[in-house]
Chain A
């Protein structure tokens, strides 16, 4: 079930919240668990078994690790078991066919691909459960003795299928004791709605423009249109994914949980390094804490640091999907980050901020073109369109068509991709008491109007994918 759908918004969410609030605290986790399992089974009725299995494995390993209190050697064995089971599960379901393809390509063999569907959210929940095992090994979290509580953590529906990657340490205490109050409900509702509006009105509509441009016959898009398309895809991906995090964080608050922020206006970055501090924060910090730093990070000389960066960025790329383009995309960032660190970072920071924004945005937009095409032929054709070498030059009439039809949408999307909203809020603090109340009333009207509009779009549901759903 996706959050931005009629079944979820009008039926699943109200029903789960009402029961959750009505139940005594002792039962709240169970209700949350029951709804989460229904939620997951709705989209993945068969593979739900995998999630139950993964959490049972990590729970059991955790108990063993706890049992062997001071015996680090034995504890390490259980850590290894946990990490290996998680990685093999992920490897098997996500990467087996990619591997088959590579082997067939290298040796001319004809091993049949398995053709397994990727279980929804597997990349997210395996990373979450691994964080538990590793943190437990490092003695950074307390062991969870109740399996149902542990399963509640893994399966919690707000963050189950598309992040943020909530670590056990973040919610450890809240799983047992949390404040569920009115402020949380109000904040949570408004945050959820912001995410919903972003997803339905901005992500889906910029996505539709991208689909139209991508669907144009090869060679008929001019460079201007190709860049417009790439920009639309970037906006779609940002609003789609960050909206999902907004909705997750909002629902978490309604339930009494505090998840970490996952995005901080990444498209307003001034360098590639800055971009990755703002984009999918829960993933980059995961790789930082569990891969980069254990490998030695930047503490063992420049050569080692370079090696570690490439390992992390190779893995980041691969995490996003089992195809070459994702690996290239990861390494693209590995190279650029290394360049910023060792070559032009200093000089870059002295440029006027407008140029730094431009530099970062162009790199990011181009990067997402690599990201979106898992077919190398299509990728090549699109890139040659972007440079006006595909037969329709730099500028064509079709650009005017897309720009005229979607100008307002794109203007709104671009403004909102920058920290414009917090900026206005800050400025408006200065208007008097009266003005404040009027503004609050205005924003109330805005919320209601946008919910009405969003509902209208959901009822006419023609294009409503969740991009990170399959990662």
Chain B
């Protein structure tokens, strides 16, 4: 009996050793990827070797991340970990709630930079106040507020709405509130993606109606636009943080007004198109980027058939990209700024362009705190 057990123990040790060796060999044999589609990020490169990096430990740290990033079956292991944690009863993993109805909802992180952001808003407002423009601020609550009832019981969320009010109050900017509009529509339509941190075109539309109502614009009816279901297998950024194959997929719907005659000019790449969408992204993992071709420091959108001569400066994060398709109906020209990439400061732009009539600042509550490039806002 004893002997038999010893044999099994020996076999166990051998299997464990083979397991380890198999992965170390596989690592060397395997082709290394530069970019991880599933995680939507560049994987780290092998660190530079020099006396300096050796001395300060950067080299060693670099090797460690390199090995972890290029480890064989990385995606599978990520999924195993997520599944194990869910099985163990965890309902929050890597800052993601495993919420009801198949929703993955990003946790709202207690803000750290409110002071700085409020200061930037004030400075921007100061700078353009004397121009003949109407400025407004739209802060979008994230899914963890709008879909609060889907969060796991007792989830510990910081007070996002209170924070939002504080930013509105302290920045002094005229407030556009889309909370009510989102809450009104949430039973009718899907406002946020299940697997991505963005809102859907429907969420963007709801907020757009709030903007129109509060600025005196007659909104277009959703029924008057052409809806196109462009993807039914979208797995977004939140999905990538877990890489758990059991999670569902999302549908992306876009809206177009066939009557619009658009010219979309990407000033950084000098490309011009006639569409607000770049459907090439449908072939990729990060499909939300099809809205306005992902990130550009400044985009100029001209609509010959807009219902007014007004011109809008839009300072925003990626949430706004799916709202622009509705806004174009009312502005002859929209200048879309991403201050993370546009460094000159939109306030001087507004001063140099007297034809600008409106400024809309739009952020969702999660990126507003992490977007330190917002320093370029004034």
Contact = CB atoms under 8 A, between A and B. Distances in A.
Interface of A: 1, 5-7, 9-11, 13-14, 42-43, 45-46, 182, 185-186, 189-190, 193, 217, 397-398, 400-401, 404-409, 433, 436-437, 440-441, 443-444, 447-448, 451-453, 455-462
Interface of B: 1, 4-5, 8-13, 15-17, 19-21, 23-24, 27, 54-55, 57, 60, 63-64, 67-68, 71, 74, 77-78, 80-81, 84, 88-92, 94, 110, 152-156
Given A7-B64, A9-B20, A14-B20, A436 B81 contact: no
Given A43-B60, A405-B91, A460-B77, A436 B4 contact: yes
Nearest to A434: B1
Contacts of B64: 5-7
A43 to B, nearest CB: 7
A443 B12 contact: yes
Interface of A is mostly: helix
Contacts of B27: 10
B23 A404 contact: no
Contacts of B12: 186, 190, 440, 443-444, 447-448
B13 A461 contact: no
A462 B16 contact: no
Given A7-B64, A45-B54, A401-B155, A189 B16 contact: yes
A164 B55 CA distance: 28
Nearest to A441: B8
Nearest to B80: A456
Contact of A182 (B4, B10, B54): B10
Contacts of B55: 45-46
A447 B13 CA distance: 9
Contact of B23 (A193, A400, A455): A455
Given A186-B9, A441-B8, A459 B74 contact: yes
Given A189-B17, A406-B90, A440 B68 contact: no
Nearest to A186: B13
Nearest to A446: B12
A14 B8 contact: no
- 6 tightest A-B CB contacts, nearest first: A401-B154, A440-B8, A189-B13, A456-B77, A456-B80, A456-B81
B24 A458 contact: no
A46 B67 CA distance: 24
Nearest to B71: A459
A242 to B, nearest CB: 20
A155 to B, nearest CB: 18
Given A10-B27, A406-B90, A458 B68 contact: yes
Given A7-B67, A190-B9, A405-B89, 18 more contacts: A7-B64, A45-B55, A190-B16, A398-B154, A401-B155, A405-B90, A433-B4, A436-B4, A437-B4, A444-B12, A448-B15, A453-B81, A455-B23, A456-B80, A456-B81, A459-B68, A459-B71, A459-B81
A408 B86 CA distance: 11
Contact of A436 (B5, B20, B78, B92): B5
Given A10-B27, A408-B88, A193 B16 contact: yes
B336 to A, nearest CB: 35
B5 A398 contact: no
A5 B68 CA distance: 9
A313 B248 CA distance: 57
